[in-house]
Structure 1
Amino acid sequence: MAGKQNGNGDAEDTAGGDDHALSPGKPGSRHDAYAQLADRFASGAAIPLPTFLHGQARREHVRACILEDHATRIDARAQGTQEKFEELAGDLYKYFRGTALGFYRDMAGMDAARPKVLLLGDVHPGNFGVMPNADNVPIFSVNDFDEVAYGPYSWDLKRGAAGFILAAKCAGGLKRKQRRRVAKCFAKGYIAGMKHFADGADPNDDVFRMDNAPPIICDLFDDAMENRADWLADDHQNETRKGFSPSSSREPVTSRRDEFQGYLDELAERNGIEPGGRFGELRVKDVAHVYGKGCASLGLTRFHIMIEGPEKDGTDDIIVEFKLSRLSALDGLAPHGDLDTGARARRVAEGQRIHIPNGDVFYGAVEIDGESYMTRERAPFRDDIDQSDLDYDGWRDYAHACGRALALAHARSDDAGAIDYDIEPAILEDMAPHHLFIHDVACFAEEAVDRMKRDWKAYRKDYRRGAFTRRFERYG
């Protein structure tokens, strides 16, 4: 497949999903075809989208999307891949979270005329939460940037509304009308956030903290707070506190300590992280290979490093994660003009920088064995809400708060990103009349969820028949 030039002048492949090695001669790659479909649909040509497929044709489309999206993991027999397929078969909400590529191929080229922002790309209730900012202070915001890409602001709202409907059903047990109202609260929160910034609030320093968050988020802050020494001892360290403890999901690889010290030094220089304070001497104590994390990311290689804290007794160490990056599921599908966030892990790091004011200083990108890895700090107070604890009112309050948090992320697309016009008034005008826009988002989300239920049932049948245990090359 022909490459394109990224912002640094380096050649970058354009295959879909995480199979960045696919080429026109390799069966399964349909990235270019979908990119052309998106362009033609956005220009007004009457090209059918996958939503027009039914029956066996739709079933084969869903199967092909999932296989293509996981081609690298299947070919490499990566640990966690079959576990992910099993999880997708067992839970509809997890299926939604783990199949973003198929979701967005159904939307290829939509909303081309709407204002563009830096999209989060995978909005759902589990991708908001508490995390550390640059000062190691807990904040609440969007927290997963793996799919960031420029595109119409409405794409995040539509996927987010579908995510809230599904989560409120699967985790909350809410009835259909209640789920619809939850989705509307998410859109209403977004509009309230946009109005807040259009009225003069500064998105460069306005973020949910313990002192200004709505009550439901304040409760999450209280639940998330944990002593660092206890967190390290309980979740990461061995008995001596000098390294990682082995487990079914973690394999210490201490022999690679010097190698990862080099990656840390490179990251620190690029991000301006100086030794001293809570960073100590920026010395890597230990390295571990980590398995079985996340939902969409299951099967992608991860490492954790342990950085010795200033006390040098293991009670204040820092854990930094290195995770293999892939192309965004939106790549080639979302209309964005000539806006580009860059390649792979650099794209993810840029997304975090734009979306969160004064964010995690360890967010960045490094190359390991020729592959692109994103980096971020793991913290004792990195947490998201327990959805099973929410009642109907709690779901509405939480959806509204997440809508406001998403508005903050989008509002920074002009000040910190590549948008060259005032984004807040443009979006507010585009959404007018707001009550109709809210209704449209909820209707889209309900239709998308109903379609996904049918897709999930077809996936479960394919999974039981072994469609996802064979090598990818057998499917074209």
Structure 2
Amino acid sequence: MAVEKDTPGKKIRAAVPRTSQGDFKLSPQRPGVVESIRLSNQDRIKSLIPIRHDRMSVSPFAFYRGMAGLMAQDLSGLPHTQLKVQAIGDCHLCNFGGFATPERTLIFDANDFDETLPAAWEWDVKRLATSFVLAARHNQLRETDAHEMAIHMATSYRHSMYEFSQLPLLDLWYKKFEMHALLNKATSEEVRALLRNAIEKAEKATPQQVFYKITQSVMGTFEITDQHPLIYHPLDLEKEKDNIKSFLSGYQRTLQEDRRFLFSKYHVVDVALKVVGVGSVGTRCMIALLMNDKDEPLFLQIKEARTSVLENFTAKSKYKHAGERVVQGQRLVQAASDIFLGWSTAGDGRHFYLRQLRDRKIVPDVETFDKEVLLAYAGLCGRMLARAHAKTGPGQQISDYMGKSELMDTAIGKFAVAYADQTEKDFEVFTKAIRDGKLPVEKA
């Protein structure tokens, strides 16, 4: 009878039992919720902080989205295997979606890398699992269904990690989750209908549609339409033209040669600040309208890059430029990235990264998902995360550690429910601080 080999991944179980991955305990050194929020607000645009608080106050899940740093601290004190991958960092179900590759094929992948950094693979898995519990509760599904979401995501991750760890390396790096293939494989008619509608809408999207939606003609030229306080013009383009030129020259140097040539065919017409997301509110995020000689538009999103929330709990980034950290992490994780993805430094020394705005983007409307759709989405996100981790970390060791039983899946489900409960407690503290006037809010 053959004896099963004790692989390096399995040996880790002695130090970090798989059941321990289900444990959750708050560190006595954990700062208070209000203090954590104030720390996360540091160096944000002060006038936008009340909008951030308002968006986070919508639900425990919205609060969770806005406080990745708090969870990073909580995770850092828990048992983990020390096996590192290129972690997404802020890995929750709303940071996945569809977009077009440079070849114009629609794929499904992770799409937010503000916090990306090499870190423990479990941190991404636990944050994603918890997000499904909170989303299921927000959608008023049963508690047993919420628990099932986390376990299903973890099971998909484990099975997929085993599959991907066996692939030839080049095959793994070439692997994409194409939206049309996902549509063809969907077994539920409800899921198929959602995918079909999303694909049709994305394939019809053009830069001109965005152009006519967010611009206006002023004295024969076009400019981005103000929508205070969410879109407005903080810069005088004429006064700042030299700084803008320097900023874009620095950005252009981060592109590969052919894309640099393409970008040179466009010139800046307008720049506006745009409030985006939940966790990003208050950071400096802008949209730039560029045009070519044929009056064809190109929209770029210019987003401030700050220190990753993971850096206080793992090694510092090897990149001195936070924008480069984001870009290089995104290129490592995604199966294909935007051709205009790059980084630059503003005149005041702040770091930014740039990408196209709304390039045939598919944003899953998770708040409308019923149990069947959310369960299918959980399996897909788990599978995509496994591919990312297998690409950038020791996939075989991670797979061997998890093993073939459901022990790891159950542990992740247990943790996700416990951390979702903690998030709801933190949310109550947060909303009480708002009611008590300790944290300002402004609807927008």
Given the two structures, how large is their TM-score scaled by the length of structure 1?
0.77
**Are residue 51 (structure 1) and residue 26 (structure 2) matched?**
yes
Correspondence 1:148-187 to 2 at 5 A: 148-170=116-138, 172-187=139-154
Cα 1:340/1:275, change in 2 over 3 Å: closer
Cα 1:464/1:226, change in 2 over 3 Å: farther
The equivalent of 1:458 in structure 2 is 429
Task: Give the whole-Å Cα distance in 2 for the aligned partners of 1:372 and 1:158.
Answer: 29
Cα 1:153/1:129, change in 2 over 3 Å: same
Aligned mate of 1:192, from 147, 152, 159 = 159
Following superposition, the deviation at residue 273 of structure 1 comes to 4.5
Aligned mate of 1:400, from 379, 383, 388 = 379
Task: Give the whole-Å Cα distance in 1 for the aligned partners of 2:405 and 2:421.
Answer: 25
The equivalent of 1:443 in structure 2 is 414
CA displacement, residues 13-52 of structure 1 (integer Å, 9 cap, x when unaligned): xxxxxxxxxxxxxxxxxxxxxxxxxxxxx9xxxxxx9715
Secondary structure at the aligned position of 1:177 is classed as: helix
**Are residue 290 (structure 1) and residue 261 (structure 2) matched?**
no
The equivalent of 1:264 in structure 2 is 248
Correspondence 1:190-229 to 2 at 5 A: 190-200=157-167, 202-213=171-182, 214-215=185-186, 216=191, 218-219=195-196, 220-229=198-207
Aligned mate of 2:216, from 227, 238, 262 = 238
Q: Which amino acid aligns with 2:107?
A: I
Q: Is the 8 Å Cα contact of residues 207 and 299 (structure 2) preserved in structure 1?
A: no
Following superposition, the deviation at residue 165 of structure 1 comes to 0.7
CA displacement, residues 416-446 of structure 1 (integer Å, 9 cap, x when unaligned): xxxxxxx221110111244000000010010
Secondary structure at the aligned position of 1:90 is classed as: coil
> Structure 1 residues 173-182 or 199-208, which shifts more?
199-208
**Are residue 304 (structure 1) and residue 283 (structure 2) matched?**
no
Q: Which amino acid aligns with 1:152?
A: A
CA displacement, residues 151-184 of structure 1 (integer Å, 9 cap, x when unaligned): 11111000100001111211x2211100111111
Cα 1:305/1:444, change in 2 over 3 Å: same
The equivalent of 1:358 in structure 2 is 336
**Are residue 63 (structure 1) and residue 8 (structure 2) matched?**
no
Secondary structure at the aligned position of 2:272 is classed as: strand
Q: Which has the higher contact order (CA 8 A, sep 6+)?
A: 2
Question: Where does the alignment leave 5 or more consecutive residues of structure 2 unmatched?
Answer: 1-15, 17-23
Q: Is the 8 Å Cα contact of residues 303 and 353 (structure 2) preserved in structure 1?
A: yes
Following superposition, the deviation at residue 394 of structure 1 comes to 0.6
Q: Is the 8 Å Cα contact of residues 275 and 282 (structure 1) preserved in structure 2?
A: no
Q: Is the 8 Å Cα contact of residues 89 and 460 (structure 1) preserved in structure 2?
A: yes
The equivalent of 2:231 in structure 1 is 250
Q: Is the 8 Å Cα contact of residues 257 and 285 (structure 1) preserved in structure 2?
A: no
Aligned mate of 1:374, from 350, 353, 356 = 353
**Are residue 428 (structure 1) and residue 411 (structure 2) matched?**
no
Aligned mate of 1:390, from 369, 377, 381 = 369
Task: Give the whole-Å Cα distance in 2 for the aligned partners of 1:264 and 1:195.
Answer: 43
CA displacement, residues 223-264 of structure 1 (integer Å, 9 cap, x when unaligned): 433431552234332236733233223234443455434333
> Structure 1 residues 399-408 or 193-202, which shifts more?
193-202
Secondary structure at the aligned position of 1:357 is classed as: coil
**Are residue 313 (structure 1) and residue 298 (structure 2) matched?**
no
Task: Give the whole-Å Cα distance in 2 for the aligned partners of 1:168 and 1:223.
Answer: 26
Following superposition, the deviation at residue 309 of structure 1 comes to 4.4
Task: Give the whole-Å Cα distance in 2 for the aligned partners of 1:340 and 1:109.
Answer: 23
Q: Is the 8 Å Cα contact of residues 341 and 351 (structure 1) preserved in structure 2?
A: no
Correspondence 1:129-140 to 2 at 5 A: 129-140=97-108
Q: Is the 8 Å Cα contact of residues 50 and 105 (structure 1) preserved in structure 2?
A: no
Q: Is the 8 Å Cα contact of residues 252 and 260 (structure 2) preserved in structure 1?
A: no
Given the two structures, how large is their TM-score scaled by the length of structure 2?
0.83
Correspondence 1:37-48 to 2 at 5 A: none
CA displacement, residues 76-100 of structure 1 (integer Å, 9 cap, x when unaligned): 52x3211111222232111000011
Q: Is the 8 Å Cα contact of residues 275 and 285 (structure 2) preserved in structure 1?
A: no
Instruction: Report the number of matched residues.
Output: 401
Cα 1:236/1:191, change in 2 over 3 Å: same
The equivalent of 1:332 in structure 2 is 312
Q: Which amino acid aligns with 1:91?
A: S
Q: Which has the higher helix share?
A: 2
Task: Give the whole-Å Cα distance in 2 for the aligned partners of 1:175 and 1:81.
Answer: 34
Task: Give the whole-Å Cα distance in 2 for the aligned partners of 1:404 and 1:446.
Answer: 21
The equivalent of 1:473 in structure 2 is none
Secondary structure at the aligned position of 2:76 is classed as: coil
